[in-house]
Structure 1
Amino acid sequence: MTRPDDWHLHLRDGVVLRSVVGDSARQFARAIIMPNLKPPVTSTADALAYRDRILAALAASGVPEGAFTPLMTLYLTDKTPADEIRRAQASGVVHGVKLYPAGATTNSDSGVTDLLGNCRATLAVMQDCGLPLLMHGEVTDPDVDLFDREAVFIERVMQPLRAAFPALKVVFEHLTTEQGVAYVREADGPIAATITAHHLLYNRNALFKGGLRPHWYCLPVLKRERHRLALLAAATSDSPRFFLGTDSAPHPRGAKEQDCGCAGCYTARHAMALYATAFESVGRLDRLEAFASLNGPAFYGLPANTGTLTLERVAEHVPTALPLADAEVVPLAAGESLPWRLAETPTA
């Protein structure tokens, strides 16, 4: 298949970055890099500096120069100036601006508190220059049930945003519900969504199978089976609005296995095997290339990759843990066997 891209990836920084970047580079040619570091990547200068650190980590991991391209993003705040958007667009390396509602997920404390109230001028420039808004689609209102926060986000945030800025390119990231699928499929204007492998493969029962399983805990959280089936139907459909975004998020085992554990699933090492397993489960392997390799570049206005990736239907055991700096990370499906694996090194 055409070599795929990952349109939603967490690489972290420092020694953790050096531990995980090779897992993505061995499969994907490009990835949209999330900006929720400490401190967050809020300026073009920050993004350029972070990109340099990623490139250095790639070289240290033995990844050939040019084999993996990080596509940088900015972290939207209530005070992001419109001029920063112009600098980002002119840089040629910033490909989106990420909305984290304040308090929604990991390192989101600096996120937006009122999107249309505080960010109109910034959004107007983004619309004019075609820079996509990448949205963590959940409200953070404590009165809204955790499992309903995506559906409520559509009503409270997404619909007013689309009415105010109908030409703004929007990516509804890590979609998790049938309501989200219906909205993205039917909405007017340039809108798309990423879908993770874990939301395609598991419903919320996975969190409690045999006990509380923190390594299946992510935000947005896994949902009911009907939502998983809706996501699977969307990902394997002919719609170009749905594409691959792993949301792979490395956390040390100790940060997950504690009384207030971190949200995030580490899927980078076996990402394409996980997606192939999901697509094969409904007999739609023929749609995997479009979802993984073609729809994303088309939405972002980039060419599809010229290289290839080969998967083979040979069982591969997922390790119970992987090295992560001076600790370890437990990957999704740890200890299980997947029916697919990479057959060879991808071509550039």
Structure 2
Amino acid sequence: KLYPAGATTNSASGVTDPGKITHLYEAMEKHDVPLLVHGEVTDAEIDIFDREKVFIDRYLNTIRSQFPALRIVFEHVTTSEGVNFVREANALTAATVTPQHLLMNRNDLLVGGVRPHNYCLPILKRRQHQDAIQKAVIDGHSRFFLGTDSAPHARNKKEAACGCAGCYSARAALPLYATFLEQHNALDKLEGFASHFGADFYRLPRHTDTVTLQRKPWEVPTIIDAAGEPVVPFFAGEQLPWSLG
């Protein structure tokens, strides 16, 4: 996975210039190793809401064109530019979609007070970007698939003057995706999004094990104990119409 230096938690020793490691992309293409990308620049002069677009313009378009046989996954895509990049690129280009970027935009982070448990990196964007992500999922586009980017941080590290980035969505992820797709009359797209498209892109056999989702109301816990540390999950205290059986 390509982590630009400073783009996310524990990435201080990441890549400082993705344009200077073309020899690695060449080797990955040769040996069919997928390149998973956290697609943001981290220059101090670039607005945090523009990081993804600038990364595409500065690096990703070039990587895609120079290495056409390299499989690329745009991890946790957050912008319409990112969605359009994947839609317009060749069939060896895909993206993962998190619950938070599918269900929320930056109003959910900033309106009515700062909501630290909705703070993640890449940061939530404008509604227009959320709309583009939602359309790709509702369409059942086979190169957009589930990737939670779930990140459990103790409550005191989220509710802090300098809080950690990350949403702990793992426990509620499938009910959240199911709820969204049902609301948009696209529940039939869930299995492909959650179980088939990713495996197909990675050229792995589709899993034969199953999980059961039932249309039974479930309230997301307000607190989860993680080895003695309280963690506030994504959508804490909210009632969802779907639950894991």
| TM range, smaller chain | over 0.9
TM-fit CA distance, 1:209: 4.3
Residue 209 of structure 2 corresponds to residue 340 of structure 1: no
Residue 15 of structure 2 corresponds to residue 122 of structure 1: no
TM-fit CA distance, 1:179: 1.1
- Structure 2: which 5+ runs fail to align? none
Contact 1:176 1:227 in 2 (8 A): yes
**Over residues 303-322 of structure 1, what are the superposed CA-to-partner deviations in whole Å (9 max), with x where a residue is unaligned?**
11112222111110111110
TM-fit CA distance, 1:286: 0.6
2:46 & 2:91 partners in 1: Cα distance?
A: 28
Residue 35 of structure 2 corresponds to residue 142 of structure 1: no
2:229 & 2:131 partners in 1: Cα distance?
A: 35
| Number of corresponding residues | 245
2:240 & 2:31 partners in 1: Cα distance?
A: 42
1:288 & 1:191 partners in 2: Cα distance?
A: 20
Matched residue, 1:272: 174
Residue 219 of structure 2 corresponds to residue 313 of structure 1: no
- What letter corresponds to residue 31 of structure 2 in structure 1? C
TM-fit CA distance, 1:145: 1.2
**Over residues 3-28 of structure 1, what are the superposed CA-to-partner deviations in whole Å (9 max), with x where a residue is unaligned?**
xxxxxxxxxxxxxxxxxxxxxxxxxx
Residue 36 of structure 2 corresponds to residue 111 of structure 1: no
TM-fit CA distance, 1:189: 4.9
Q: What fraction of aligned residue pairs are identical, expressed as a percent? A: 56
- What letter corresponds to residue 110 of structure 1 in structure 2? S
TM-fit CA distance, 1:301: 0.5
Contact 1:166 1:189 in 2 (8 A): no
> The residue matched to 2:95 in structure 1 has which SS?
strand
Contact 1:197 1:278 in 2 (8 A): no
Matched residue, 1:91: none
- Give TM-score, length-normalised by structure 1: 0.69
TM-fit CA distance, 1:250: 0.8
Residue 109 of structure 2 corresponds to residue 172 of structure 1: no
Contact 1:195 1:244 in 2 (8 A): yes
Contact 1:236 1:291 in 2 (8 A): no
1:294 & 1:228 partners in 2: Cα distance?
A: 23
**Over residues 23-51 of structure 1, what are the superposed CA-to-partner deviations in whole Å (9 max), with x where a residue is unaligned?**
xxxxxxxxxxxxxxxxxxxxxxxxxxxxx
Residue 112 of structure 2 corresponds to residue 210 of structure 1: yes
Following superposition, which runs of at least 4 residues in structure 1 exceed 3 angstroms of deviation?
none
> The residue matched to 1:99 in structure 2 has which SS?
coil
- Structure 1: which 5+ runs fail to align? 1-97, 344-348
Contact 2:140 2:193 in 1 (8 A): no
1:315 & 1:237 partners in 2: Cα distance?
A: 26
1:309 & 1:256 partners in 2: Cα distance?
A: 31
2:149 & 2:100 partners in 1: Cα distance?
A: 9
Choose the corresponding residue for 2:2, options 64, 80, 99.
99
TM-fit CA distance, 1:126: 0.6
- What letter corresponds to residue 341 of structure 1 in structure 2? S
2:147 & 2:140 partners in 1: Cα distance?
A: 17
Contact 1:311 1:341 in 2 (8 A): yes
Contact 1:195 1:242 in 2 (8 A): yes
Query: Residues 1-348 of structure 1: matches in 2 within 5 Å?
Result: 98-117=1-20, 119-343=21-245
2:56 & 2:47 partners in 1: Cα distance?
A: 15
Contact 1:178 1:227 in 2 (8 A): yes
Structure with the bigger RCO (C-alpha within 8 Å, sep 6+) is 1
1:236 & 1:303 partners in 2: Cα distance?
A: 24
> The residue matched to 2:172 in structure 1 has which SS?
helix
